[in-house]
Structure 1
Amino acid sequence: MNVQDELIDYLTVNAAYEPAAIPTTRAFTFLTKLTGMPQLWTLDEKDEPVQLLHTHDRVLSVFHSPDGNKTVIGIDHEGNEKQQLYIVDSTGGEPQVLVESTENFHHCGGWSPDGKWIAYSSNRRHPGFFDVFIIHVETGETKQVFTYDANCVPVGWIDNESLFVMTKETNIDSTVHIVTINGGESKRLMRDGVRARFGTPVIIPGTRTGYVLTDYHEDTLYIAKFSLDHLDALARVRHWEQWDIDEMSLSPNGQALAFCVNTGGVSKLGIYYPETDSYILANPVEKHVIDSLSWLSDNKLVFGLKTPTQPGDIWTYDIQSKKMERLTFISASETVGNYWVEPELHTYKSFDGLEVPYFIYSKGEADNKPAVIYVHGGPEGQTKADYNPVLQYLVHKGFTVVAPNIRGSNGYGRKYLQLDDADKRLDAVADLASLTEELAKIHHVDSTKIGIMGRSYGGFMVLAALTHYPELWAAGVDIVGMSNLRTFLQNTGEWRRYLREFEYGSLAAHSDYFEEIAPMNLTHKITAPLLVFHGRNDTRVPVSEAEQLVRDLQERDREVELIVFEDEGHQTEKIGNHITMHTKTVAFFSRYLGE
């Protein structure tokens, strides 16, 4: 097999993800890119994958009706993230428009228990303001039930008369509101003004008792119990002080609550039993990441599972037999699967003594190997124990690959999450500089052949590393990154600007600092070759962030190349663009770091 074909085999490995159980059946749907973009699939009577719908663009969200006879899906246009909502019945056919305003965003909040209404939020009133609406699926009658002069999204129905609505206060903090749809009355969970993360509120059917994920008065996310009759009280029921619980899902009968503990980027699946206030941890797959918890029945859970050597498939867990079963094998590869390697999890001390975790991928014990550092986005993202085709291929070609969770990463508690806020931004860049020392000293990497790559905020970190520590890097790849936090905040969508200001600092108070640290203003320091990718339709990080940087570097006669995908946004979804981007990335690192 030649190098080009081998790389394409890595890049075209598919995955099944985001399963959603179809109520009143034992069936489920899932997303996969088998056709080249995310589409909706299910399993047939022989348990073989079959495409359920053919849509004009990628499917982003899926909501099945309570009786299982209809489905609402969210679809955007060429990566712009402006979801429009469509409805289709279980017999198939073309999706019909339910909610459409192509210049606006729509976030679906699911079906009412009686199956008559769909909740959603939209910024139709103002680019930065989201209001909540409900629409009757048969008549199209629409009612506005919640008005909010910032970002909000409905996150589930309590009963036919009320909704949970989540409002965003900062980049990480949120509040939960209980909204009555007739009259628009709104009550807030925990009204004392303490900022906290809240997520996934649920109510046990037929009761006034609910559960929510929160870090209220704690560093990490835990499961808390509350009552609709006493919204100013929370009772902690399950808490791991070191780790976040990052997902939960209530069984249809309300007798079991599935949850995932995020142990440093590895998932531990648990089942909590409210009636007895007890829990179990499921038999684990060794190193894995679980998401999209959904219940096929009162006793069987379905979810997506991926590992560094399994790109993603659908699994179930039976809470009676305590057994896990793999249902799909879409991610299996006969050509390159045997080459995939498991990373090791390490920590290192940064410049100020902070312990920073990282995954390291390496094959063989040779000294003086070239290395690539991969920086996740967010900034509140987290590198987990999952599959990345480019990282795996670079390892296969002899590189050491390192994926750190530098300060500011999610999964390690609120304090760690906020260590890079505002004028502490360069401390995170210094974490990357300290990591290069660790690689040379502990892992025998050639310190003259270290490259760096990242997406979104990770792209900004690439540019910041190249400008603030130019002597450390042999090459850099920036994917949809920001080149100046000031121009980024000025030009990003109004719906997210105030949230990003809590993380990066505000335009009013920190513009001078933004200018001081901006890679755009320090291009004269960049000596390493740079490869830049961006999507023309990016509504988060405008393409101007890439264009202004590359134009300046070209005027300085630096080694730089910009590739703009005209039919993508912040993500790179279409398989052809995916192949182009990563083929160029691998060739770029091979050229400047050496194989």
Structure 2
Amino acid sequence: MTNFIKYLNIKLKDGHLYYISDETGKRELHKYNLADSSSAQVTNEVQNVKNYWFVNDHLMISTDYNGNEREQLKLAEEELELTYAPDYYHHYGTYMDGHLFYFRNHQEKSEFELCRSDLKGESGIIRSFQNPTKIISKFQDNQLLLSQDVTNIDSQLYLYDIVADEMEKLPFPEGRFKNYHSMGEDAAIFVSDFNNGYMNLYSLDKNTWAYERLTDFNWNVEHLILDGGTAYLTLNVNGYSTLYEYEIENGRLTPLEILTDGVIHSMKKEQGGLYILYSSMSEPHSFYKYDIGSGTLEKMFGNSPADTPVETAADTYVSFDALDVPYYLYKQPGENVRTVIHIHGGPESQARPEFNELYYKLYEAGYQIAVPNIRGSTGYHKFYIGLDDQLKRLDALEDIVHLRTHLIERESADPDNVFIMGRSYGGFMTLMAMTQYPDLWKGAVDIVGISHLRTLLQNTSKWRRHLRSHEYGFIGTHDDFFEATAPLENIQREMPPLRIFHSKYDVRVPFSESDQMYGRMKRKGRDVDFVAYENEGHQYMHTENIDDMNGEIVNFFNGLSREK
């Protein structure tokens, strides 16, 4: 049974700190009274609560069905369904002039429809867009700031006039854009990678669209809170969060040297305090308050400390082409240590030095765990993200092989007991590693992974297909490469045992990806087993299922490593 609660998404309202947690066995909204330290469950939904907003003194939540990501919007206190269209995804944007504005798109179509709804559930479509489109913010009255995806990484910004039904392409380069904050009629602040390949802070003249880079970090700005002329921001430094106070007018940057050994997951400010959700490789999720005036930090509530002390490290190793690849290590003492390599998903994502219950349980069982950010990961220079695109996929595989060698030579890994596992794209890399290099691994675990890039692209949502093709390759252009690298087509005579986990309502990596891999391996007589969860999507949210999977993985590795 799980020993740790997962917390997400802080917001502050009326003297309460709101958050989502899985303490009831699935994700529900809770609130913590800042005055008397009491807590209460706010929602009691049949499905998991995915997100929430405070809209004109109403509490709006989103839920989906068994993790299928087709979120529906609801006023929680009134039990009023604002959207009830189970075949559509709904992406909330903003509230303006008495109306909600959001995008929706059908699971089988590529159009994104901009919708307007009152708080009684009456809605209508304003305009359709052919590319994936998001609402960034209200800009001025009757104007929305929008972004349209150009690739899997970059977007283009537009201004949409609702009354005139006119779209204006804004004079910004294509790039990543987030954390837009208006500073009145004439100015705004935002974060982008327009100039130097890292996510930095920019100022904007809202009348001329002129923008200026305010910071020159060689790491990415992540969270941003604007409080008058002062910004509180976190910087992602090799995955670790560092917190700064930034005075916009004079450019003075002051580090706030707290909680530097892990990840700040969420952060909000009220009066003189910063409220922070934090975890590290050895510390489970907890809430902290930082008093800005006194510089003091106190833990408010959260998980109790982990029972087993964890020795951790962050380092790099040299891959085949002299590229330095960063990784985190849950380090075990001694020689010939049983070792697990875990590959994160995405691939446009990043392993972080945060608490992970599966890693902790493996560590308790005597394994050391290495978690790399192989080429293609985010969190570093933008150049690094593109190093695995399309025909460069095998370069990322070589990163994994070189990590194994590094761990044996430098970190006392037992060459006869090195395991590999991964989730989503990490599952694909796991399957590639075990089919291309079957002799290197004692066993492998694939969680909601891809077994063939071509069938993934054929079966994923139409709007997602084009974006993922920029990363993986295009059907009709890269078919030979898809076939040559597909784990499904490269099952060897001798292979390490494989355990597969997937879920029936996964819309990002369809269930068929695991089903076909399991069926092919079974027909060829390989050692494979498959666990399918009936009420999950791409991200598992029921603690019962998470506990079951974690236990199965530990038992699987233990059984193999005990074999003579």
Using the TM superposition, give the Cα deviation of residue 339 of structure 1 relative to its aligned residue in structure 2, in angstroms.
0.3
Who is 1:315 aligned against?
A: 288
Deviates more, 1:79-88 or 1:266-275: 266-275
SS at match of 1:437: helix
Who is 2:376 aligned against?
A: 408
Are the structure 2 counterparts of residues 508 and 300 from structure 1 closer, same or farther at C-alpha, using a change threshold of 3 Å? farther
Match of 1:553 among 498, 521, 525: 521
Verify: 1:293 aligned to 2:267, yes or no.
yes
Match of 1:248 among 219, 224, 228: 224
Counterpart of 1:175 in structure 2: which amino acid? Q
Deviates more, 1:430-439 or 1:300-309: 300-309
1:291-324 per-residue CA deviation (whole Å, 9 max, x = no partner) reads: 3333334x43333211112221223334333333
Match of 1:257 among 225, 228, 231: 231
Match of 2:185 among 201, 204, 207: 207
Question: Structure 1 regions of 5+ residues with no counterpart?
Answer: 1-7
1:208-232 per-residue CA deviation (whole Å, 9 max, x = no partner) reads: 211221111322111111122122x
Using the TM superposition, give the Cα deviation of residue 148 of structure 1 relative to its aligned residue in structure 2, in angstroms.
1.5
Verify: 1:272 aligned to 2:246, yes or no.
yes
Are the structure 2 counterparts of residues 177 and 168 from structure 1 closer, same or farther at C-alpha, using a change threshold of 3 Å? same
Are the structure 2 counterparts of residues 296 and 110 from structure 1 closer, same or farther at C-alpha, using a change threshold of 3 Å? farther
Using the TM superposition, give the Cα deviation of residue 126 of structure 1 relative to its aligned residue in structure 2, in angstroms.
6.6
- Contact 1:283–1:322 (CA<8 Å) still a contact in 2? no
Verify: 1:351 aligned to 2:342, yes or no.
no
Cα distance in structure 1, aligned partners of 2:478 and 2:397 = 18
- Contact 2:241–2:260 (CA<8 Å) still a contact in 1? no
Using the TM superposition, give the Cα deviation of residue 50 of structure 1 relative to its aligned residue in structure 2, in angstroms.
1.2
**Higher relative CO (CA 8 A, sep ≥ 6), structure 1 or 2?**
1
Who is 1:85 aligned against?
A: 73
Using the TM superposition, give the Cα deviation of residue 198 of structure 1 relative to its aligned residue in structure 2, in angstroms.
1.3
Using the TM superposition, give the Cα deviation of residue 94 of structure 1 relative to its aligned residue in structure 2, in angstroms.
5.3
Counterpart of 2:72 in structure 1: which amino acid? Q
Cα distance in structure 2, aligned partners of 1:188 and 1:248 = 26
Cα distance in structure 1, aligned partners of 2:258 and 2:126 = 43
Who is 1:137 aligned against?
A: 119
Counterpart of 1:35 in structure 2: which amino acid? T
SS at match of 1:523: coil
Counterpart of 2:549 in structure 1: which amino acid? M
Q: Percent identity?
A: 30
1:331-386 per-residue CA deviation (whole Å, 9 max, x = no partner) reads: 215xxx1204142001100111100011111232x101110001100001111110
Verify: 1:49 aligned to 2:39, yes or no.
yes
Deviates more, 1:528-537 or 1:278-287: 278-287
Verify: 1:227 aligned to 2:205, yes or no.
yes
Who is 2:21 aligned against?
A: 32
Cα distance in structure 2, aligned partners of 1:480 and 1:166 = 29
Cα distance in structure 2, aligned partners of 1:514 and 1:525 = 21
- Contact 1:37–1:574 (CA<8 Å) still a contact in 2? yes
Are the structure 2 counterparts of residues 588 and 289 from structure 1 closer, same or farther at C-alpha, using a change threshold of 3 Å? same
Using the TM superposition, give the Cα deviation of residue 244 of structure 1 relative to its aligned residue in structure 2, in angstroms.
1.2
Who is 2:410 aligned against?
A: 442
Cα distance in structure 2, aligned partners of 1:433 and 1:405 = 13
Correspondence list, 1:115-514, <5 A: 116-124=98-106, 127-138=109-120, 140-191=121-172, 194-204=173-183, 206-231=184-209, 233-241=210-218, 243-251=219-227, 254-297=228-271, 299-329=272-302, 331-332=303-304, 337-364=306-333, 366-514=334-482
Using the TM superposition, give the Cα deviation of residue 125 of structure 1 relative to its aligned residue in structure 2, in angstroms.
10
- Contact 1:158–1:202 (CA<8 Å) still a contact in 2? no
- Contact 1:63–1:111 (CA<8 Å) still a contact in 2? no
Are the structure 2 counterparts of residues 234 and 145 from structure 1 closer, same or farther at C-alpha, using a change threshold of 3 Å? farther
Who is 2:7 aligned against?
A: 16
SS at match of 2:404: helix
Using the TM superposition, give the Cα deviation of residue 426 of structure 1 relative to its aligned residue in structure 2, in angstroms.
0.6
Who is 1:63 aligned against?
A: 53
Cα distance in structure 1, aligned partners of 2:494 and 2:456 = 20
Are the structure 2 counterparts of residues 163 and 27 from structure 1 closer, same or farther at C-alpha, using a change threshold of 3 Å? farther
Are the structure 2 counterparts of residues 155 and 303 from structure 1 closer, same or farther at C-alpha, using a change threshold of 3 Å? farther
Using the TM superposition, give the Cα deviation of residue 542 of structure 1 relative to its aligned residue in structure 2, in angstroms.
0.5
Cα distance in structure 2, aligned partners of 1:525 and 1:244 = 45
Using the TM superposition, give the Cα deviation of residue 545 of structure 1 relative to its aligned residue in structure 2, in angstroms.
0.4
Are the structure 2 counterparts of residues 208 and 100 from structure 1 closer, same or farther at C-alpha, using a change threshold of 3 Å? farther
Match of 1:588 among 553, 556, 560: 556
Cα distance in structure 1, aligned partners of 2:112 and 2:52 = 21
Counterpart of 2:105 in structure 1: which amino acid? N
Cα distance in structure 2, aligned partners of 1:239 and 1:293 = 22
Counterpart of 1:37 in structure 2: which amino acid? K
Cα distance in structure 2, aligned partners of 1:476 and 1:380 = 22
Are the structure 2 counterparts of residues 368 and 33 from structure 1 closer, same or farther at C-alpha, using a change threshold of 3 Å? same
Cα distance in structure 2, aligned partners of 1:125 and 1:332 = 41
Using the TM superposition, give the Cα deviation of residue 146 of structure 1 relative to its aligned residue in structure 2, in angstroms.
4.6
1:559-581 per-residue CA deviation (whole Å, 9 max, x = no partner) reads: 00011101111011111111111
Verify: 1:109 aligned to 2:85, yes or no.
no
Using the TM superposition, give the Cα deviation of residue 186 of structure 1 relative to its aligned residue in structure 2, in angstroms.
2.7
Matched residue count: 562
Cα distance in structure 2, aligned partners of 1:582 and 1:181 = 49
Using the TM superposition, give the Cα deviation of residue 526 of structure 1 relative to its aligned residue in structure 2, in angstroms.
5.5
Cα distance in structure 1, aligned partners of 2:212 and 2:533 = 49
Correspondence list, 1:497-576, <5 A: 497-524=465-492, 527-576=495-544
Deviates more, 1:195-204 or 1:434-443: 195-204
Cα distance in structure 2, aligned partners of 1:30 and 1:422 = 39
Deviates more, 1:463-472 or 1:340-349: 340-349
TM-score (norm 1): 0.91
Using the TM superposition, give the Cα deviation of residue 51 of structure 1 relative to its aligned residue in structure 2, in angstroms.
0.3
Cα distance in structure 2, aligned partners of 1:156 and 1:565 = 37
- Contact 2:311–2:332 (CA<8 Å) still a contact in 1? no
- Contact 2:451–2:513 (CA<8 Å) still a contact in 1? yes
1:46-105 per-residue CA deviation (whole Å, 9 max, x = no partner) reads: 313210111111111111125xx31111101101011000013xxxx4531012211110
RMSD: 1.9
1:375-409 per-residue CA deviation (whole Å, 9 max, x = no partner) reads: 10000111111011111121122111100111111
Using the TM superposition, give the Cα deviation of residue 592 of structure 1 relative to its aligned residue in structure 2, in angstroms.
1.1
Cα distance in structure 2, aligned partners of 1:572 and 1:411 = 24
- Contact 1:258–1:293 (CA<8 Å) still a contact in 2? no
- Contact 2:82–2:122 (CA<8 Å) still a contact in 1? no
Using the TM superposition, give the Cα deviation of residue 130 of structure 1 relative to its aligned residue in structure 2, in angstroms.
1.2
